[in-house]
A and B are shown apart, each in its own frame.
Chain A
Amino acid sequence: MPDVPRPPVKDWATDFDHTHPDYAANAPAILDELRETCPVAHTDRFGGAWLPTRHDDVARIAKDHEHFSSQGIIVTDWRPEEPAPMGYAPPITSDPPFHAIARRFLLEFFSPKAIDGWEETARTTCRELIAQIKESDDEVVDVATAYAQHIPVRVIADMLDLPREDGDKFRVFIHRILEEPGQNTVDDWGETLEFYLQEKIAERRENLGDDLMSYLIKADIEGMALLDEHVRGTIALLIIAGIDTTWSALGSSLWHLAQNPDHRRRWTEDPAVQPFAIEEFLRFYAPVTMARLVAKDVEIGGCPMHVGDWTLLSFPAANRDPDAFERADEFIIDRQRNRHSAFGLGIHRCIGSNLARMELRVALEEWMAAFPDFELADPDAVTWSTGQVRGPRRMPFRLPH
């Protein structure tokens, strides 16, 4: 829980707070209303931040590296100290031209064909988790914690060759950094992600393998080894960005299916619809909102953004803009035209998108094969994460025996 409760939001157009529990519960409705009434919202919180909700504005900001810097991508009360163009977690916090260099040597690990090689790991993990749920014989199961959250943790741990048991630690780091940014103080250095990674990287240097961490340690930029903070920042990014996000997308998809028996039936009876359904889950429940720091004064949607302001990049809002999508507020399981931006737009397109999509597909295939029918045990018991990654964190399902 936050050290200090967030003050209530007076008006979402002028005082928004995406880290407030009210936002977590109602984000889609809040974003839809803002788009109609005040398409670029503002808050004095976080030292000043903007929230554009139209697809065109979001796309424009995502592609404008002159006026917007990625040096800061998580909105907090302070501004990051690590200088551009590398930032604290390259390449997500990097700006051109360094960004392309830091991104390029990661791409081959995350291309669709490279990700095919991890499908078996994901599938085995799903089957193990489902077997545990079936063995437990509980009628009500919290699927967010018993199923969805473990799948991305295990795959990324294997990719980095870190112990799967460290998954619980990852989740603590992530919660602190993404869901309640700047709202928790950690007194013990030994309990931080930085310390954890420093230890693991030092150990790995003595014992290199063919995993992704070893590859980063061995990588060079024009003959120079990567800086320690570059290696650490990138691995932190892979752990943080890959887990909460996929957990959220999968959780939201299952939450949707729990309440829509017709969509469960369609998924099972018409496998050709599945690839379209997956993209519609990603559009409708896009978990990730990014952020930028204004680097040069600029006007967006008639609003004057000044150097040092934050702006959120709400892909969830862009994905529900009726100017960009037909029947934007409806979940259409076989939507044929779907240029959603759940994985971002422009040069910072989520590098793990193929991994995330594979995990989402495999986890849904396995779940639906094991449990073609299920329902929410208590809709009011579902809780949603706060901050820039949105998904169910507690989600009790009633499962048939």
Chain B
Amino acid sequence: MKIKYDRDACQGHNRCYMLAPELFDTDDEGYAILLVDGEIPSELEEKARLAADNCPEFAIEVIDD
């Protein structure tokens, strides 16, 4: 599984940071920073899905292999 994060769509709701801090940090202005490059460790797949399913701006997409 991979994550696609669209910085232009992100409005800083911070839902991903709260649900999946292993995968997302936030910058000083509260916009998300994707921490993982490439394949998501399998134990974090559920959190990745949660982050995508709770982003009000549809800025996060998970891509299953």
Residues of A within 8 A of B (CB): 104, 107-108, 110-113, 275, 279, 336-341, 343, 345-347, 349, 353-354
Contact between A347 and B30, CB atoms less than 8 A apart: no
Q: Which residues of B contact A275 (CB under 8 A)?
A: 18-19
* Minimal beta-carbon separation of A131 from chain B (angstroms): 30
* Minimal beta-carbon separation of B29 from chain A (angstroms): 4
Expressed in whole angstroms, the Cα–Cα distance for A279 and B19 within the complex equals 11
Expressed in whole angstroms, the Cα–Cα distance for A361 and B53 within the complex equals 21
* Minimal beta-carbon separation of B12 from chain A (angstroms): 6
Contact between A111 and B56, CB atoms less than 8 A apart: no
Contact between B11 and A345, CB atoms less than 8 A apart: yes
Given known pairs A345-B11, A346-B11, A349-B11, the reply for A111 and B53 (CB within 8 Å) is no
Q: A279-B15, A346-B57, A349-B11 are in contact. List 15 more A-B contacts (CB 8 A).
A: A104-B29, A107-B12, A107-B29, A111-B12, A111-B27, A111-B28, A111-B30, A112-B26, A275-B18, A336-B53, A337-B53, A339-B56, A343-B56, A345-B57, A346-B11
* Minimal beta-carbon separation of A22 from chain B (angstroms): 30
Q: Which residues of B contact A347 (CB under 8 A)?
A: 11
* Minimal beta-carbon separation of B61 from chain A (angstroms): 13
Chief secondary structure at chain A's binding surface:
helix
Contact between B54 and A338, CB atoms less than 8 A apart: yes
Contact between B56 and A345, CB atoms less than 8 A apart: yes
Expressed in whole angstroms, the Cα–Cα distance for A112 and B12 within the complex equals 10
Expressed in whole angstroms, the Cα–Cα distance for A110 and B29 within the complex equals 8
Residues of B within 8 A of A (CB): 11-15, 17-19, 26-30, 50, 53-58
Task: List 22 contacting pairs A-B, 8 Å CB cutoff, sorted by A.
Answer: A107-B28, A107-B29, A111-B12, A111-B29, A112-B14, A112-B30, A113-B26, A275-B18, A279-B54, A338-B54, A339-B53, A339-B56, A339-B58, A340-B56, A343-B13, A345-B11, A345-B56, A345-B57, A347-B11, A349-B12, A353-B13, A353-B14
Given known pairs A275-B18, A275-B19, A353-B13, the reply for A108 and B28 (CB within 8 Å) is yes
Given known pairs A107-B30, A111-B28, A112-B30, the reply for A339 and B12 (CB within 8 Å) is no
Expressed in whole angstroms, the Cα–Cα distance for A21 and B49 within the complex equals 42
Q: Which residues of A contact B11 (CB under 8 A)?
A: 345-347, 349
* Minimal beta-carbon separation of B22 from chain A (angstroms): 15
Expressed in whole angstroms, the Cα–Cα distance for A347 and B11 within the complex equals 6
Neighbour of B55 across the interface among A113, A339, A346, CB < 8 A:
A339
Which residue from chain B places its CB closest to the CB of A315 in the assembled complex? B56
* Minimal beta-carbon separation of A142 from chain B (angstroms): 32
* Minimal beta-carbon separation of B45 from chain A (angstroms): 14
Expressed in whole angstroms, the Cα–Cα distance for A345 and B13 within the complex equals 9
Which residue from chain B places its CB closest to the CB of A104 in the assembled complex? B29
Neighbour of B13 across the interface among A107, A113, A337, A349, CB < 8 A:
A349
Q: Which residues of A contact B55 (CB under 8 A)?
A: 339
Residue from the set B28, B29, B56 with the largest chain A CB neighbour count within 10 Å: B56
Which residue from chain B places its CB closest to the CB of A348 in the assembled complex? B11
Which residue from chain A places its CB closest to the CB of B29 in the assembled complex? A107
Expressed in whole angstroms, the Cα–Cα distance for A347 and B54 within the complex equals 18
